[in-house]
Copies of this chain bind each other. A is one copy, B any other.
Amino acid sequence: MGGDHGPAVTVCGAALLLDERADLFFQLHGDEARINAELARLPKLKERSVVIHTDQAVAMDEKPAQAIRRRNTSLANAIHAVKSGEAKAVISAGNTGALMALSKMILKMLTDDLERPAIGCSWPNKKGFGTVLDVGANVTSDAHQLIEFALMGAAFHRAVRGVEKPSIGLLNVGSEDVKGHEEVREAHKLLRENALGLNYHGFVEGTDLCEGTVDVVVTDGFTGNVALKTAEGAARFIKDLLKDAFKSSPLAMLGALLAAPALKAMAKRIDPGTGNGGPLLGLRGIVIKSHGGADARAFSNAIRVGVSLAASGYERDITLSLAQFSQSLAEQEALSLAATSSDTTIKDLPLAGHLEVAGNKVN
């Protein structure tokens, strides 16, 4: 029940989605009095929901380290409901850092290799929506993490956009194999060898994000976060310039009036609310982050993302993909050690040490 606007937005968002999907059922965590005040105006939702009261809330600016020490906050309670199986997904417009930390602590990561969840986002492009990850959780990512993002991004895009084999691009500063830093080049090499069943396109650049060149763009959390905020800032800047232009003369004002319906339809297309709902990927459970400033319509879009994921085979899909990746890495390592041992044989040098290591890895 968090976010900048509290239950007024989140409860109404649930009601909006219920109009489309009458089969849904909601647990509403937070201050009972405030939630019930909203529900009084929404009889359909009232019938299809249960209120779990708490007077404890995580503040928007609370440090994650502090938030994870507090019991019975609405955020912690909601995540526990997913852990226990009472709820299929948690959707929050609250404090991102606290949501990350609490989700990781309560739900745990899907595999031991994953350090923390990757945040995905839906990016409007010429073809509809792409998936971009990580947009902020992992400020540095090695080649293996980038590949995990690719696997998780593909599973998410498949579940939410219905594309069976989403195309994957790795964000870089150019398209040639030699471009970029070691991490992206290594991930590129591993993805091209393509033991993972991914539809790997290759490197993509910043311009490809809005072009929609691929379905899923993979990058580290630092670059992804900067790219997302840069694009949001550029869109807002152009919107403001456009407003000023339309106000600059009586003729321009009349022009704006005539074109208003078309401009509104266009603005909706790139409105951050339309693609609202960023999944925290890699957790044992579905967690969706909504923009803090989302309105009810935008928040209902975030819930929809959670519903799509819950209805799909997404979690099993990711778990299998990650397990397959771990295995293929172990096999490659074993192969490369075996190769080292054969090389050693050819050169007629002592073998024992190498073979022992290779044996250890294979079994």
Q: Chain A interface (Cβ within 8 Å of chain B)?
A: 124-126, 136, 139-140, 171, 173, 179-181, 205-211, 219, 221-223, 225-238, 240-242, 244-246, 248-249, 251-252, 254-263, 265-266, 269-270
Contacts and interface: CB of A to CB of B under 8 A. Distances in A.
Contacts of A173: 136, 139, 221-222, 225-226
A236 to B, nearest CB: 7
A261 B252 contact: yes
A241 B269 contact: yes
B205 A229 contact: yes
Given A206-B226, A219-B226, A223-B226, 14 more contacts: A126-B237, A173-B222, A205-B225, A206-B225, A207-B230, A207-B233, A209-B233, A210-B230, A244-B266, A245-B263, A251-B258, A255-B259, A256-B259, A258-B258
B245 A262 contact: yes
B230 A206 contact: yes
A222 B242 CA distance: 31
A51 to B, nearest CB: 34
Report the 3 A-B pairs with minimum CB-CB distance, sorted nearest first. A206-B229, A255-B259, A255-B258
B233 A208 contact: yes
Assembly stoichiometry (copies): 2
A237 to B, nearest CB: 4
A225 to B, nearest CB: 4
16 contacts: A139-B181, A173-B221, A181-B222, A206-B228, A207-B233, A208-B233, A209-B230, A210-B230, A210-B236, A219-B226, A237-B270, A238-B238, A241-B270, A246-B262, A255-B258, A256-B259
B245 A252 contact: no
A237 B180 CA distance: 25
A237 B255 contact: no
A124 B234 CA distance: 10
A59 to B, nearest CB: 15
A184 to B, nearest CB: 8
Given A139-B181, A249-B262, A257-B255, A270 B230 contact: no
A266 B251 contact: no
Contacts of A260: 255
Contacts of A259: 245-246, 251-252, 255-256, 259
A180 B139 contact: yes
Contact of A227 (B206, B244, B256, B266): B206
Contacts of A263: 242, 245, 252
A26 to B, nearest CB: 32
Contacts of A237: 124-126, 210-211, 270
A256 B245 CA distance: 12
A120 to B, nearest CB: 16
Contact of A234 (B205, B231, B241): B231
A116 to B, nearest CB: 14
Contacts of A126: 237, 240
A284 B234 CA distance: 34
Contacts of A236: 207, 210
A126 B241 CA distance: 9
Nearest to A258: B255
A180 B136 CA distance: 10
A228 B223 CA distance: 12
Contacts of A256: 255, 259
